[in-house]
Amino acid sequence: MTSTKRPHQRRRRPPEEAEREILDAAGALLAERPSHDVTIGAIMAETTLSRKSFYVYFRDRFDLIRRLVEPLGAERDEILARLWRESAEPAAGGRAALLALAGLYARHGRLLRALAEASSRDPEARKAWRGFIEPVIEGHADWIREEIEAGRVEGIDPEPTARALIGMNLHYFFDQLVDRPRPDLEATANTLLVIWQRVLYGPGPG
């Protein structure tokens, strides 16, 4: 007897919907697996698309990873510009920015942590991570130079200090916010703010 069962028909969908499906699948896998295990084949197996569809939307795996973190970088940059750099009260603006960044890492920290951890052994992940974090370090180093020129900060080297403080932020965000059922965003932001202030401006009166 000849089977009358028809082969599975892949559903046609708008290009942006297909692209989003691939991005979502990759993000989910990167949050739970080592980066080197998140191959193009593994990603496409989690979608309703054929493997060759990957190359319709992305040049390679690095292009995909870069696209995943781009919107997070844009959200972070908007937070820093709106709440910190444009604030008339630097301390209050710094706290508001740290609080908003804590929320960002609470939502997306698993992906960012996976990318950071993979950057030590995966060249594609390293490119994506450096593209994500280096502009922040450079921006804070420039700001510290401005504070030195204004006479408010002294005795520190801007670039290494910015690198160390941003590295601390990242580690603390990952430790305090990722995989916790009820992360305390305010306590996390307050702790980091105190450290930044004391490193840059000293302990203050009393």
Domains in the chain: boundaries: 13-58, 65-201
pLDDT digits (tens, 9 = 90+) for 30-39: 878 877 788 9
> Does the pLDDT value for residue 58 go beyond 80?
yes
Between 5-14, 46-55, 94-103, 131-140, the lowest mean confidence (pLDDT) is in: 5-14
Burial class of residue 35 (count of CB atoms within 10 Å of its CB; 0-12, 13-18, 19+) = buried
pLDDT digits (tens, 9 = 90+) for 105-133: 999 998 899 889 888 888 888 988 999 99
> Does the pLDDT value for residue 140 go beyond 70?
yes
pLDDT score for 194: 96
Integer CA distances (angstroms), 33 to 15, 30, 37, in order: 27, 5, 6
- Per the listing, tokens 């993979």 go with 118
The CATH class for the domain spanning 65-201 reads mainly alpha
Q: Does domain 13-58 have CATH number 1.10.10?
A: yes
